[in-house]
Structure 1
Amino acid sequence: MYPAPPAATPPTPPPVAPQRDRTLVVVVSVLACVALLAILACGGAAFLLRDRILDRSAGTELTVEAVPTDGGAPDREELDRTRDLLADRLAAADLDRPSVDVEGSRLVLRVGETGHEDELRSLAGTGDLHFRRVLGSVADRPAAGGAPPTPDTAPVPAREQVAAKLGAAYQLAEEIATPGSPDPATVQGLAPFASLTPAEVAALPTRMQYAVPTVTCRQLTARPAAIAPDGSAVACDAADPPVKYLLDVARVGGADVETAEAKVTDTGQWVVAIGFTGPGQQRWTDLTREAVDAGSDNQVAVTLDGLVVSAPAVQAVITGDTEISGRFTRSEAKVLAAQIGSEPLPVTLRVVG
């Protein structure tokens, strides 16, 4: 007999990794995927944030604040109402991506395109609209250029205080019978008027503001006090050189306007078409009749926030709607229509910075 062959040794199985190691690998893999997704998500958010910042930097922004009055700063309700009216104006002016935000005691106006600061400044005006007959006009000295004059927010002093400051120049101004081109000696004697602040100019009699050649349109435009509708007034236009107007009492106001729309005429000229309320229409008709009856002095001025935006000659009595023309661009006509068609702001605003 042959001896039995030795029993075969079973093969050694490969080592089995502990279960916790496999779990660790899975967890690490999951965490890596989560990290990768987080990186991608953060990257996407960063791109979105960057796009928003670029959009903001490519737009125009204007910050304004309410001018304090005797009653103090406006309350939140007034600021919210002002924000809503400004937002309506920006939308009516057809500006890109308009927004208005209240930030504390200030309001920030924004649009999505650059180069619209002038439009935002105009739209932030109070919106005090009047129609007045022109009693006289005289050319002012050429504008000095640069930024528009900053509105003076100081209180208007007493007239006696301003007269004392001017001394002999005030007495000389009282003797001016009619405006025009005074002789050089008179102009030299009136030189102290040029040093008055806009608030001090507001304290002068209306006739003196108009007749004194050294009271300039830059001073008049920056006066802090609103022009009262029930008295004569002095206002300038935006020409260069500007024209200084002596104006009669206001016969028609913003409350008489029902609609205002910018449109282009058959000749390609941009105008603002105005429709009046029933009572406003009658007042407008009466005003045009007064202008026609005045003969050659037949101009009617449209003033907005103390600035003459148009002063056309009235050739016939107007019994219907009217148009304001002034060689407007499309943007200027849109902005003007937005101002005229809006309610006046409950507060007066000034630009910050």
Structure 2
Amino acid sequence: MLLALILALGGTMLLQKAFTPKLGLDLAGGTTVTLSPVTLNNAAPPEEILDRAVNIIRERVNGTGISDAEVAKSGDNIIISIPGVGQSEAIALVATTAELRFRQVLAMEPTQVPQQLATNAPTPSGSGSPNAPASPQPSDSASPAASQSAGVPKPSTSPTGKALSSALTAPSPATSPSEAPSATQNGQQQNGQQQGDQQQGQQDGKKGQDAKASPTASPSGQPSEPPAQDPNTGINTEGIDPTVLAQYNKLDCADPKNRGQGVQDDPNKQYAACETDGSYKYVLDVAKVVGTDIDTASAGVQQGTTEWVVQLDFKSKGAGEWSKLTTAAYNSPEPRNKVAVVLDGVVITAPNIISPIPGGRAEITGGFDQISATNLADQLKYGALPLKFNRSSVDTVSSTLGQDQLQGGLIAGLIGLLLVVVYCMLYYRGLGIVAVLSLVVATILTYTAVVVLGHNAGFRLSLPHIIGLVVSIGITADSFIVYFERIRDEMKEGRRSLRAAVEVAWVRARRTILIADAVMFIAAIVLYFLAVGGVAGFAFAMGLTTLIDIVVVFLFTKPFIALLARMKFFAKGHPLSGLDAERMSESGSTGRTTTPQEA
């Protein structure tokens, strides 16, 4: 089992091509970001609000407590120091407010027509006459009525056809009966518009006759002849706030400012927004589910695919609202059968709802990789910032200690290890070999664990961590000494052979070893949860080496001593074995054998 554990850790290192530990802020440097709060009239923010922001940012950048990141207040500013990352990574990690909303789509349209849709899909000017023959069908299976009802190419061909959960894997059926009313209503609007053109033609004489002929001439591609269309043509404006509709018509998603995260939108009001890539713009209903309704969030790979997603679990209230929202969207026509996921005012994804989703679980997809999915999950899990912040400065900082101090710490560890080895060999002689090999195994496990944790859990070695690992050498040696002395006590009593003494001594020694390690581990846990920054990292290192000590003693030291007890060199008490008569009592040479007993 021990060999399997070592091979698993070593194999992980090889697969990830990670062979050296990641270093902390004091040994490798990093990035420092200074955030200044934005308030009305530049008033000082309340202290409790600022403390809450500090806690949220600390959880984001150092959620596990082992990455050696530091977050502190300096007046009204917040200073964040993140080890081993560049400026862009640091900004992406701390600057977003992480305000998550789930909003039903009320209207949408592409801001630029993709090439495929430009050649195959009907254009708005081609649908001016209800009597005109249908334009060539889109490449998907959408019906002409469905295409006309939206007034734009069918939204299901957009990049928003992404999954929120296992139920969100395909666009709504094109022949859904719920789409028919929208098409009929749109046809009535178009008939009304045509009649208005005819009346205007009767009043204006010959110009009116030209205008009357324009609907049939529009498919010929003459854009200058039709009268200017209402920008809301083809949009079901029922239930949409006119002010928001006007904002939607003016919204320019080609402008990066309109699709950059950081906007704190009001969840109680309708909202006009762009998609992250600027390809679509939306009119969105009030938010029925918000970020505070999320119980937890995690990053993972979607089942059956290699795509990274963010998985959400809602609280009891949020689960009920989520079920109502998806049910309402499912019973609505295009494009209102979509639910948009809005983060900091920008639409990440807006998938079709093909069935109601009870149960309080959802997934967010959006072309994530492991890092971006993990960052978003952390932002959602730890909450939104209560204040809006401006970045006062972003600086790259060098290590405060440097390579010399790192080498000094490693040399101190090697000296300590060497002294323990020398002591064990001089005092325990042959048994000292067991101690040395046990320390070697513990060192291998510790190193591989630190490397794997560094590349998968953000663990970074700083000087306090290295001190914790050096101190753990003594803890590991204590376990060996307890066991060895128990064996010698059993041999001195003269009632047992070496093989029997090894077993009986183990029963007694393991209790002492477990109690000592339990005390050390409890202390590490308490320190880890009550401290932050480097102190929490030190506690983590101490707890890690305590667990490794238990693994080594149980899976290597005891079995190895049991194997040596079968050898004549130790069983007969050779002078170099450490179990000779000179070190034992004279009564220890009787060699009487008794059945091992529980103490």
TM-score band by shorter chain is 0.5 to 0.7
Q: Match for 2:269: what amino acid?
A: G
Match of 1:337 in 2: 377
Kindly indicate whether residue 232 of structure 2 is the aligned counterpart of residue 177 of structure 1. Answer: yes
1:93–1:338 CA contact under 8 A, matched in 2: no
> Are residues 178 and 69 of structure 1, via their aligned partners in 2, closer, same or farther at CA, if it must alter by over 3 Å?
farther
Q: CA deviation at 1:341?
A: 1.3
Alpha-carbon separation, structure 2, partners of 1:275 and 1:52: 34
> Are residues 213 and 220 of structure 1, via their aligned partners in 2, closer, same or farther at CA, if it must alter by over 3 Å?
closer
Kindly indicate whether residue 297 of structure 2 is the aligned counterpart of residue 260 of structure 1. Answer: yes
> Are residues 93 and 60 of structure 1, via their aligned partners in 2, closer, same or farther at CA, if it must alter by over 3 Å?
farther
> Are residues 52 and 61 of structure 1, via their aligned partners in 2, closer, same or farther at CA, if it must alter by over 3 Å?
closer
**How big is each residue's C-alpha offset from its partner over 1:208-229, in whole Å with a ceiling of 9 and x where there is no partner?**
2211255754343469873221
What is the TM-score with the length of structure 1 in the denominator?
A: 0.62
**How big is each residue's C-alpha offset from its partner over 1:128-171, in whole Å with a ceiling of 9 and x where there is no partner?**
221001122233479xxxxxxxxxxxxxxxxxxxxxxxxxxxxx
Unaligned segments of structure 2, at least 5 residues: 1-23, 114-227, 236-241, 394-599
Kindly indicate whether residue 28 of structure 2 is the aligned counterpart of residue 55 of structure 1. Answer: yes
> Are residues 253 and 93 of structure 1, via their aligned partners in 2, closer, same or farther at CA, if it must alter by over 3 Å?
farther
Q: CA deviation at 1:118?
A: 4.2
Kindly indicate whether residue 286 of structure 2 is the aligned counterpart of residue 249 of structure 1. Answer: yes
What is the TM-score with the length of structure 2 in the denominator?
A: 0.38
2:108–2:282 CA contact under 8 A, matched in 1: yes
Alpha-carbon separation, structure 2, partners of 1:334 and 1:94: 16
Match of 1:65 in 2: 36
Q: CA deviation at 1:258?
A: 0.7
Match of 1:82 among 53, 63, 74: 53
Match of 1:190 in 2: none
- Following superposition of structure 1 onto structure 2, how do residues 1-353 of structure 1 map, counting pairs within 5 Å? 55-56=28-29, 59-70=30-41, 72-92=43-63, 96-115=67-86, 117-118=88-89, 120-140=91-111, 176-178=231-233, 205-212=243-250, 214=252, 217-221=255-259, 226-239=264-277, 241-266=278-303, 267-297=305-335, 298-320=337-359, 321-353=361-393
User: RMSD over aligned Cα, in angstroms?
Assistant: 3.2
More helix by share: 2
1:60–1:117 CA contact under 8 A, matched in 2: no
Q: CA deviation at 1:242?
A: 4.0
> Are residues 99 and 323 of structure 1, via their aligned partners in 2, closer, same or farther at CA, if it must alter by over 3 Å?
same
Number of residue-to-residue matches in the alignment:
247
Match of 2:133 in 1: none
2:296–2:381 CA contact under 8 A, matched in 1: yes
The SS at the match of 2:323 is helix
Alpha-carbon separation, structure 1, partners of 2:294 and 2:83: 30
Q: Match for 2:385: what amino acid?
A: L
2:293–2:315 CA contact under 8 A, matched in 1: yes
Alpha-carbon separation, structure 2, partners of 1:119 and 1:95: 17
2:97–2:262 CA contact under 8 A, matched in 1: no
2:37–2:45 CA contact under 8 A, matched in 1: yes
Unaligned segments of structure 1, at least 5 residues: 1-50, 143-172, 181-203
**How big is each residue's C-alpha offset from its partner over 1:59-97, in whole Å with a ceiling of 9 and x where there is no partner?**
233221100225812133332221111010123499943
Alpha-carbon separation, structure 2, partners of 1:316 and 1:294: 11
More strand by share: 1
Identity %: 30
> Are residues 60 and 323 of structure 1, via their aligned partners in 2, closer, same or farther at CA, if it must alter by over 3 Å?
same
> Are residues 179 and 304 of structure 1, via their aligned partners in 2, closer, same or farther at CA, if it must alter by over 3 Å?
farther
> Are residues 60 and 210 of structure 1, via their aligned partners in 2, closer, same or farther at CA, if it must alter by over 3 Å?
same
The SS at the match of 1:205 is helix
> Are residues 223 and 315 of structure 1, via their aligned partners in 2, closer, same or farther at CA, if it must alter by over 3 Å?
closer
**How big is each residue's C-alpha offset from its partner over 1:163-183, in whole Å with a ceiling of 9 and x where there is no partner?**
xxxxxxxxxx9x633489xxx
